[in-house]
């Protein structure tokens, strides 16, 4: 949606990159959440670009971290509830990596971080919120969708709106302009 709204023409080709294996490899290495986001974005971009001759491929990934704990998308509504209860009243980070690759090699990468603080809401309020928004929240690593009702969960946000939605769009567009891909 972000790329389309920005006026880019592109094809979508999902990567077959094994994120679970990459995360396991990075665990215990001292890699920061930003490092993990970049490694996953790189892996996706390299894998897809190796199969697309001389085309620029955009790879991206987003990591949510609360201190040293890295979160994954909740599997179900109970998982969404547990994620939001862990995050309530606290600040967490969204680390978003984006890479450009061609012929299997990354030639540009960028990581951006947003800092987000949730209200200290009641379990009852959360129950009603989840009933209102439904299972679509499981598509978001933080079990919220800031572009919708998820914004009600927050008391403070510092960082790029685009990074929060999953792509550091302004640095990416700047690099595409520098490359002559955009006017």
Active site residues: 61
Across the strands, what pairs with 93? 65, 115
Neighbours of 105 (CB within 10 A): 12
User: Who's near 159: CB < 8 A, 6+ residues apart?
Assistant: 94, 112, 113, 114, 115, 116
- E strand or H helix that includes residue 128: helix 123-133
Check: CB of residue 145 under 8 Å from CB of residue 132. Answer: no
Instruction: Measure the CA angle with vertex 148, ends 171 and 89; round to 5°.
Output: 85
- E strand or H helix that includes residue 169: helix 169-178
């Amino acid at each position: 949606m972000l790329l389309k709204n920005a006026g880019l023409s592109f094809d979508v080709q999902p990567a077959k990159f094994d994120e679970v294996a990459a995360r396991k490899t990075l665990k215990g290495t001292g890699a920061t959440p930003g490092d993990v986001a970049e490694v996953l974005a790189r892996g996706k971009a390299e894998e897809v670009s190796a199969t697309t001759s001389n085309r620029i491929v955009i790879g991206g990934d987003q990591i949510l971290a609360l201190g040293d704990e890295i979160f994954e998308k909740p599997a179900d509504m109970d998982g969404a509830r547990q994620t939001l209860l862990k995050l309530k009243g606290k600040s967490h980070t969204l680390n978003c990596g984006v890479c450009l690759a061609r012929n299997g090699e990354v030639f540009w990468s960028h990581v951006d971080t947003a800092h987000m603080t949730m209200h200290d809401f009641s379990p009852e309020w959360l129950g009603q919120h989840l009933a209102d928004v439904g299972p679509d929240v499981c598509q978001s690593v933080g079990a919220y969708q800031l572009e919708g009702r998820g914004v009600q969960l927050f008391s403070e946000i510092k960082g790029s709106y685009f990074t929060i939605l999953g792509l550091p769009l302004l640095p990416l567009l700047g690099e595409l302009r520098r490359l002559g891909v955009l006017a």
